[in-house]
Amino acid sequence: MSTTTQNINQISTERYTELHQAEDPDIHILDIAKRIFPNEEKYIESKKQYQEWYKYKNEPKILQGILKLNYLYYQLAKDYFATNEEIEKEADDFLNS
C-alpha cells in the first residue's frame, strides 16, 4: 500500500471515528465541509492538486473517490462561503477592537 493510500486511510478512519463520536453527526459533517472548503477557490485548488498528484499514478478509483467526496463536501460548504466584504469587515472589527 502506498504512503498516500495509507494517509487517506488514516484520515478516513479518523473522520469515521469522529463522526460516530459526534453529538450531532449532521452538524459534524457540515463543520468538516466548511473547514476543508472555506471558499470556492480552496475547492478548485484542492481538486487541481489531487488531479495533478494522481495524474501519473495508476490509482484512478482512488482519485475518483476523493473527487466525489470532496464534491459532496463542497456542495455542503458552498452556502457558507464568506464573501470578501465579510472577510474585510471581520478583519477590520478584529483590528479595531
pLDDT tens per residue, range 7-17: 767 877 887 78
What angle, rounded to 10 degrees, do the helices at 40-53 and 60-77 form?
180
22-63 pLDDT tens trace: 899 899 899 999 999 999 999 999 999 999 988 878 888 889
**Highest mean pLDDT (candidates 13-17, 42-46, 79-83, 92-96):** 42-46
- Per the structure, how many domains does the chain have? 1
Domain ranges, residue 21: 3-96
Rg (CA), the chain: 16
Distance in angstroms (rounded) separating the CA atoms of residues 21 and 70: 22
73's CB contacts (< 8 A; 6+ apart) are 32, 33, 36, 37
Residue 11, all three cell numbers: 484520515
Question: Model-level pTM?
Answer: 0.72
Q: What is the pLDDT of residue 72?
A: 96
